[in-house]
Structure 1
Amino acid sequence: MTDIRKLQVQGVHHITLTGADRQTSIDFWEGTLGMPFIFEQPNLDSPGENHLYFDPGDGRLITIFTNEDRTPDRRRTPTDPGCVHHLAFAVSEATFAQAETRLKARGIGYTGPKDRGFMDSIYFKDPLGFLIELACYRFTPPEGCRHADVMIRAHRLRVERGDHHIDRVHLADAIEALVEERHASLSADRSARNPY
């Protein structure tokens, strides 16, 4: 019998997309989404292509294979099984509040904002027809927790209560439970009380 073990991942290292020409990629990823253009070299697996690297803000990378013989095609990229449907990027509430105005100023069509219960989203296509989402969480995790910690707890509460989707009440109750579990208190009774 074979000893089967997981290949445990620890996060996204980078995502690579096939782009058109170099300048279109720079204009979109840096000039529209604000990702610093940090590195460039030939595509080591395909000599006719260039490989551009952008920093999406969390220290990981978005990379683009470019070729000066390719031109942008704004038709929607395929969504067949096995294809990437869209990429979602985290933005602050301040940036999200400006997203519609800034997309309109560029003449970029969009869908949203959409209420996702635990976050707000707005969608638009890049110059090659690839769907991009700007996502803004509606909560800040308690100290020492990650967004995923709050999400799994909120999901469990939603399922227990028979609710359709995660909403603000599940997030608030999840955060309260995580604080109670992970942060000590001198009080013997930490239940909700009314001091008035």
Structure 2
Amino acid sequence: MSSALTIQGIHHITIICSNAQRTIDFYTQVLGLRFIKKTVNFDDPGSYHLYFGNEVGQPGSVITFFEWPGASKGHPGIGGTHHFALIVEDYNGLLQWKRRLVDLGLSVEGPLDRHYFKSIYFNDPDGTILEIATRGPGWTIDEAPDAIGTEFREPPPEMIVNNRDEARIQAETWPEPVPEITRSMALSQGMHHITAIGSDIQRTQAFFG
């Protein structure tokens, strides 16, 4: 394949919000992202288009929002996005995020061990599901780098819902309050992944693979 045709990664994700200022406050003051642009939706000039990202708005770090206050409440469905995940460098940073978010009054699920990374889940003011995920241990923990994705991998049984120690998970957090976002918590590295919903796993694999 020509290098000019190679997809190099995620550029951004665009989501719907109902209130521009509330969204700005959450993503800058709670999550510490930089507000990099406020313009209008080029295809709907009557609505705002908000952009958040790292210090320079590097592709892969960018989350954008259309402000559509009259839109109906979204729900997961085929062809839609279930959630997106931002990268935190390590597990200490993840636990600090849990403590910070809980202290700010958010409901947080996790930390959950996803084998390839550990993560927490919570919602933004409009109900969008967000995940913060650790960079490691990575996709090569159970496959060689040149063979990832070539075989079906069953997750460890203890990581599956109904087998997890939910009491331990709920209790696990950072021991001290986290009023400020520390360097180890920085989300400026961008998108970890986006999870969407499909109706046919083989067709989806053929399309994206």
What's the TM-score bracket when you normalise by the shorter of the two chains? 0.5 to 0.7
Q: Distance in 1 between matches of 2:35 and 2:42?
A: 19
Instruction: Specify the alignment match of 2:154 in structure 1.
Output: 164
Instruction: Specify the alignment match of 1:22 in structure 2.
Output: 20
What's the RMSD between the two structures over aligned residues? Answer: 3.3
* Structure 1 counterpart SS, 2:96: helix
Q: Structure 1: state its 5+ residue gaps.
A: 1-5, 140-146, 167-196
Instruction: Specify the alignment match of 1:36 in structure 2.
Output: 34
Aligned-partner residue type, residue 65 of structure 2: I
TM-score by length of 2: 0.60
Instruction: Specify the alignment match of 2:164 in structure 1.
Output: none
Which is richer in strand?
2
Instruction: Specify the alignment match of 2:85 in structure 1.
Output: 88
Say if 1:63 and 1:163 are closer, same or farther in 2 by CA, change over 3 A.
closer
Q: Distance in 2 between matches of 1:159 and 1:10?
A: 20
**Contact 1:53/1:64 (8 A) holds in 2:** yes
Spell out, residue by residue over 1:33-59, the C-alpha distance to the aligned partner (whole angstroms, 9 max, x if none): 111001111111112101111115781
Say if 1:51 and 1:86 are closer, same or farther in 2 by CA, change over 3 A.
same
Q: Distance in 1 between matches of 2:101 and 2:49?
A: 27
Q: For structure 1, which segment, 30-39 or 90-99, has the greater mean C-alpha deviation from structure 2 after superposition?
A: 90-99
Q: Structure 2: state its 5+ residue gaps.
A: 157-209
Among all aligned residue pairs of Structure 1 and Structure 2, give the percentage whose two residues are the same amino acid: 33
> Rg: which structure is higher?
1
* Aligned match for 2:144, one of 145, 153, 161: 153
TM-score by length of 1: 0.64
**Contact 1:36/1:56 (8 A) holds in 2:** yes
**Contact 1:85/1:131 (8 A) holds in 2:** yes
Instruction: Specify the alignment match of 1:63 in structure 2.
Output: 64
**Contact 2:35/2:53 (8 A) holds in 1:** yes
Q: How far is the alpha carbon of 1:88 from its aligned partner?
A: 0.6
**Contact 1:28/1:127 (8 A) holds in 2:** yes
Instruction: Specify the alignment match of 2:181 in structure 1.
Output: none
